[in-house]
Amino acid sequence: MIEYYTFKHRGAADEYKDEIFLRLVPNLTVAIFNGNKLDSPKSQSLLFSEILSSDEGNKSIDYLTTVFEECLDKGSEYLILRVEQKGIESIRRGDVCAKIVRQGQISLLPNGYFGLSSDDRIICATSNFFDYLSDEGILADALVAGTCSEWMNMMIRRISDQSQLKCGNLSAVDLRLNT
């Protein structure tokens, strides 16, 4: 069973420069696009989503990366995370990243395939989201929360305590695999 929760907030900015994409078949694919460094983030975000929802989106992560490298502008930042049999495959470009909570510790999810065990938790988000959180805070919330939505709400409380959610776009997805 896969449990996930997405969060998107404009954060007092004029427009959204981030986007979250989810594709449920054949495997759950989570993608976060960050166009913060682009002049026209909307068009790039649209292109990103079109590629993901097309047949190309079914192909391997390596192939997808090549397509994105060719099609997207240089300042585009993204993270693609695909749930495989008993693990997760991920690729990231730029400051969008994922962190994994495992055995009472937190670490950055590396590019490539990563085997998961039951009760591992993953948070994928833009750098702006992580800027307001310490690793220890994310970890403590993950260990306390019973569900993904609860975990996200706890992290939002931490961000709010510092920025009152006036900190620009916030985009995040947290997930848990019960293998």
Q: Which is nearer to another protein, 64 or 173 (CB)?
A: 173
- Taking only Cα atoms into account, the Rg of the chain, rounded to an integer number of angstroms, comes to 15
Binding flag, residue 160, another protein (CB under 8 A): yes
Question: Mask: binding to another protein, 85-104, rule CB under 8 A, as x and -?
Answer: ------------------xx
Q: Which of 63, 61, 93 is nearest to 77 (CA)?
A: 93
Classify residue 175 by its DSSP letter: E
Q: Which is nearer to another protein, 53 or 134 (CB)?
A: 134
Q: Smallest gap, in angstroms, from Cβ of residue 152 to another protein?
A: 9
- The CA–CA distances, whole Å, from 139 to 35, 102, 144, 157 equal 27, 9, 9, 14
Kindly tell me which residue out of 3, 12, 86, 127 binds another protein, with binding defined by CB under 8 A.
Answer: 12
Phi and psi at residue 61, in whole multiples of 5°? -60, -40
**Residues touching another protein, count (CB under 8 A):** 27
Q: CB–CB of 122/98 below 8 Å? A: yes
Binding flag, residue 134, another protein (CB under 8 A): yes
Say which residue the tokens 């449920």 belong to: 24
The two structure tokens encoding residue 148: 């993904």
Q: Smallest gap, in angstroms, from Cβ of residue 18 to another protein?
A: 13
Q: Smallest gap, in angstroms, from Cβ of residue 156 to another protein?
A: 5
Q: Under DSSP, is residue 120 helix (H, G, I), strand (E, B) or coil?
A: coil
Binding flag, residue 119, another protein (CB under 8 A): yes
Contact footprint for another protein (CB under 8 A): 7, 9-10, 12, 103-105, 119, 134, 136-137, 139-141, 143-146, 153-154, 156-158, 160, 164-166
